[in-house]
Amino acid sequence: MESELKRGFLVRQRAFLKLYLLKMIEANKRYGTQFLDDLRTEFKPYGYHPTHSEIYKTLHELTREGWVRREKKLLGEPGVDFQEIIIYHLTDKGKQEYELYRKQMKVEFDRCLGLLNQAMSDHYGPIKRK
Amino acid sequence: MESELKRGFLVRQRAFLKLYLLKMIEANKRYGTQFLDDLRTEFKPYGYHPTHSEIYKTLHELTREGWVRREKKLLGEPGVDFQEIIIYHLTDKGKQEYELYRKQMKVEFDRCLGLLNQAMSDHYGPIKRK
DNA sequence: CAATGAACACTATGTTCATTC
DNA sequence: GAATGAACATAGTGTTCATTG
CB atoms inside a 10 Å sphere around CB B84: 10
Q: Count of alpha carbons within 13 Å of B59, Cβ hemisphere only? A: 23
Q: How far is B111 from chain A (nearest CA, A)?
A: 6
Q: Which of A8, A109, A114 sits opposite B120 (nearest CB)?
A: A109
Pick from A77-91, A96-110, A111-125: least confident? A77-91
Distance, CA of B116 to CA of B98 (rounded, Å): 26
Confidence of residue B3 (pLDDT cuts 50, 70, 90): very low
Contacts of A9 in chain B (CB under 8 A): 13, 16, 48, 50
The whole-number pLDDT of residue A10 equals 97
**Length in residues, chain B:** 130
Please name the residue whose C-alpha is nearest to the C1' of nucleotide D6: B53
Distances (CA, A) of A36 to A23, A69, A89, B118: 13, 19, 17, 17
Contacts of A45 in chain B (CB under 8 A): 114
The whole-number pLDDT of residue A127 equals 65
Residue A125: is its pLDDT beyond 60? yes
Tell me the average pLDDT across A96-124.
97
Which residues are CB-contacts of A50 (< 8 A; sequence separation ≥ 6)?
A13, A17, A36, A39, A40, A43, B9
Residues 12-71 of A with CB under 7 A from strand D: 12-14, 50-54, 57
Distance, CA of B2 to CA of A112 (rounded, Å): 23
The whole-number pLDDT of residue B5 equals 46
Tell me the average pLDDT across B108-116.
97
Q: How far is A123 from chain B (nearest CA, A)?
A: 8
- CB-CB under 8 Å, A124 with B113: no
Distance, CA of A22 to CA of A28 (rounded, Å): 10
Q: Report the chain B residue with the minimal C-alpha distance to residue A9.
A: B48
Q: How far is A82 from chain B (nearest CA, A)?
A: 34
Tell me the average pLDDT across B92-118.
96
Report residue B92 CA to chain centroid gap: 19
Average pLDDT, chain A: 89
Report residue A100 CA to chain centroid gap: 15
Closest by Cα among B83, B89, B82 to B28: B89
The whole-number pLDDT of residue A73 equals 85
Pick from B62-66, B88-92, B94-98, B124-128: least confident? B124-128
Q: Report the chain B residue with the minimal C-alpha distance to residue A43.
A: B115
Helix (H, G, I), strand (E, B) or coil at A125: coil
The whole-number pLDDT of residue A113 equals 97
Distance, CA of B36 to CA of B44 (rounded, Å): 12
Pick from A81-85, B2-6, B7-11: least confident? B2-6
Q: Which domains does chain B possess? A: 11-124 (1.10.10.10)
Which of B48, B102, B105 should be substituted to probe chain A, the one whose Cβ sees the most A Cβ atoms within 10 Å?
Answer: B48
Helix (H, G, I), strand (E, B) or coil at A51: coil
Contacts of B9 in chain A (CB under 8 A): 13, 16, 48, 50
Cα angle A87, A28, A79 (rounded to 5 degrees) comes to 45
Tell me the average pLDDT across A46-74.
94
The whole-number pLDDT of residue A1 equals 38
Q: What percent of chain A stands above pLDDT 70?
A: 87
